[in-house]
Amino acid sequence: MRYQLVCLAFVVAACSFNVDYRGTLFACDPGGACPENYVCIDQRCTPTEPGPATCAKAVAGGGDHTCAVRNDGTAWCWGGNEYGQLGDGTATDRTLPAQVVGLTGVTTVAASYNHSCAVAAQGAVWCWGRNNAGQLGDGTMGDSRMPVQVANVTGAVAIAVGNSHSCARLGDGSLLCWGANDNGQLGDGTTTSHGNATKALGGVSAVAVGGDTTCAVDGNHALWCWGQNGDGQLGDGTKTSRSMPTLVPLTNVTGVAVGQAFSCALTMDGVTSCFGNSDAGQLGDTVNSSTTPVRVSFAGKAVAITAGDQFACLTDDQARVWCWGVDYDLEFTDLDGGADPVPKLTSYTSSMDISAGGSHLCVRSADGGITCSGYNGRGQLGDSHRTTQGTPHAVTPLAGITTLAAGEGHTCVTLMDGTVSCWGQNGSGEIGDGSSLGRTRPTAVQSVTHAKAVAAGNNHSCVLLDDGTAACWGRNDHGQLGDGSTDTHGLARPVMGLTGITQLAAGGTHTCALAGGVVSCWGQNNAGQNGNGTNSDSATPVAVTMLPANVQGIAVGNVHACAITATATVACWGTNFAGQLGNGKFTGSNIPVGVIGLANVDQLSAHGNFTCAHATDGSVSCWGAGGDGEVGDGNYQTSATPQKAISPPGTKKVATGAIHACAIKTDDTLSCWGASYTGQLGDGGYNSHGTPILIPGISGVRDIAGGDSHTCALLGDGSISCWGDDRAGQLGDGLSAAHGQVAPLLPCP
């Protein structure tokens, strides 16, 4: 064997890692101490953030952007800006607050996914951004990167915006709405969209809009909702959409908040109730959805509520903030993420206003300071530290790289000297340095030398050594490390019983190897992804059955695997709910089944729930899940048989991520297709593409790897560039998601 197992201390002395304000992290010393200007959070010395500017009188969270009103009546926005929703006259994302052009006397502001609105002097309403359904209210359907005045609306005191519609509450209690109306969300009794304001209700004291649903509280403290109701978010006991206000069975209501598919109401006695979708605990009491109000499991007294896409928060009578629902991006300022079906106390205190965006939360304190938490992929936290990169960025100081692999949230490479370095997510030890600390810069895998190639699964990694053996490290709950146990290890462990290995591939929670033309797999096998005719997990390699000898190559997806046969055709096994086995069916198989219509295949790639094959003529064909365009045929739909993504001639290699793919062209440039929600296509944008597009600014590509939502390319000079999601530091640029509150750098006058 060419490696040595050693025991490392879990914590190391402070200052043992390079650190700067951009996010590279120390480990805390054993006593929890950190250098000056750093604080110990979850055993990491994290830079302390600047204090918030104290000049804001309102804040609003949008889908991927945020807006605020300063005390001087100017409006400022930051984050995603592809439709001009920041109002600064451009379509450029901003990681720092930018002033909305031309607006003064602003009293309040509202933000949605693609447009924003504000109430200004004399109660006039101004909107900017996307206008495909007339949501800007100026009578046109043209987008605007600067504010346009909503026609025939004066005396407004409040504004609320949804996916593609807007509503203004006037001083006399009238509620006017405009924009998309396909689900009746304007409340005028029709499903006809309007580019001009139309009256929905009178006597309104509060209004909230989310998705394609609108809710309002009247002067008698009754709650009325209308619009989309597919998940019961109108609270009337049905799932029937309504084009007229419908009474919700609650009394003494004082406040309301609406998410994408659920709604919450606050009553005079401080009780919060929610209704609608609760697949991630959005109702605050249960993971069971409800078409009628369910009381949130909170014993205190709530005084304000807000709702994001899939989470909600309240402020209690002690100015503390509690949240429930989806917390995948640490919106709740905690360290574990996940989903919480009952309210969890956040670190926010002295809350005056709370506003939830798509996947982020902003709080304005009593002194006018704003702090935010959660997803920062488009710069919506406003602290200049966005956690996605839409264009390739070099990973430094790495050079001399020979192979690379990308997992769920981590990246690994082999170097010319036979060592391995990894970076990114490390909660299960997938970096291989003996710790569970995330790494935002390349970190050497301990005790591994003579490495030839590396493979990365969701939360584990494996290396092929030059003597034909393999070693793995990281999560091992299903035996995916192949060491005979189900114990997670942060240091490399030998894979048992395999020699002569020529290729390794790691999937979600299973791993496969090619040795002597025979494929063996190990790990989770609930869907037959080990291919041995059973559905039982195995902590040691088992041979794939009924597969012809002399297999030429393998690929492993999330819950399936594929092999190139000796005749250059393809066989696959495992789950098949999205057609990822390519046999024209949607029924899984625990033994290999032939993929229809493929020939002359010389390379395969699978990472998520689809598969791509490269043929000797330079063509690329893909099959399986395709809702984000990842099949590459332009149809944005699942396909159970291979479809041409790239016709010959054209490419040398293909690599897939979870919902995107890239191919190296014959001139060593790169084409990519599929989802780009985190910029993983590398074209500088965040829009999906159903057919391949040429990626500018990168050439000389020698190898390519796709992670769940990031991409890395090995260049001809032995360097590596990465782009896409960087929340776990998987791009190797020193950045990672904030684990607590950060302050938007709003300049004060």
> What is the b/e burial string over 421-447, where b = at least 16 CB atoms within 10 angstroms of the residue's CB?
bbbbbbbbbbbbbbbbbbbbbbbebbb
User: Rounded to an integer, what distance in angstroms lies between the CA atom of residue 180 and that of residue 184?
Assistant: 8
* Distance between CA atoms of residues 415 and 558, nearest Å: 27
Model confidence at 43, in pLDDT bands (50, 70, 90)? low
Q: What is the pLDDT of residues 681-720, one digit of tens each?
A: 999 999 999 999 999 999 999 999 999 999 999 999 999 9
The mean pLDDT of the chain is 93
Residue 15 scores a pLDDT above 90: no
Give me the residues paired with residue 67 across strands: 60, 77
Annotated domain spans of the chain:
52-202+352-388+741-749, 224-349, 447-698
- Strand, helix or coil for residue 433: coil
Query: Could you read off the pLDDT of 135-188 as tens digits, one per residue?
Result: 999 999 999 999 999 999 999 999 999 999 999 999 999 999 999 999 999 999
∠ CA 437-735-690 to the nearest 5 degrees?
110
- Local confidence band at 256 (pLDDT 50, 70, 90 cut-offs): very high
Convert the pLDDT of each residue in 621-664 to its tens digit. 999 999 999 999 999 999 999 999 999 988 999 999 999 999 99
Q: CA 271 to CA 604: how far, in whole Å? A: 55
Decide: residue 182, CB within 10 A, 0-12 exposed, 13-18 middle, 19+ buried.
Answer: middle
Length of the chain as a residue count: 749
Output the CA–CA distances (angstroms, integers) from residue 337 to 327, 329, 598, in the order listed.
5, 6, 42
Contact 182, 227 (CB under 8 A): no
Residue 7 has pLDDT above 50, yes or no: no
Q: Cβ of 712: how many Cβ atoms within 10 Å?
A: 28
Residue 46 has a pLDDT of 67
Interacting residues of 396 by C-beta distance below 8 A, sequence separation 6+: none
Please, which residues bridge with residue 345 across strands? Answer: 322
**In the beta sheet, which residues pair with residue 515?**
501, 518
pLDDT in tens, 59-74: 999 999 999 999 999 9
What integer pLDDT is reported at residue 334 of this predicted model?
A: 86
Q: What is the CATH number of domain 224-349?
A: 2.130.10.30
| pLDDT at position 301 over 60 | yes
The residues, any chain, with a CB within 8 Å of residue 397's CB and separated by 6 or more, are none
Q: 52-202+352-388+741-749 domain in CATH 2.130.10.30?
A: yes
Is there a shared CATH topology between the 52-202+352-388+741-749 domain and the 447-698 domain? yes
pLDDT (tens digit per residue) in 518-544: 999 999 999 999 999 999 999 999 999
pTM of full prediction above 0.85: yes
Cβ pair 447, 3 in contact under 8 A: yes
Classify the C-alpha dihedral 387-388-393-396 as positive or negative.
positive
| CB 489 within 8 Å of CB 476 | yes
Instruction: List Cβ<8 Å contacts ≥24 apart for 433-437.
Output: 433/8, 433/490, 434/6, 434/7, 434/8, 434/10, 434/490, 434/491, 435/8, 435/10, 435/27, 435/490, 436/10, 436/490, 437/25, 437/27, 437/43, 437/44
Instruction: Report pLDDT for 26.
Output: 54
User: Could you tell me the fold of the domain covering 447-698?
Assistant: Methylamine Dehydrogenase; Chain H (2.130.10)
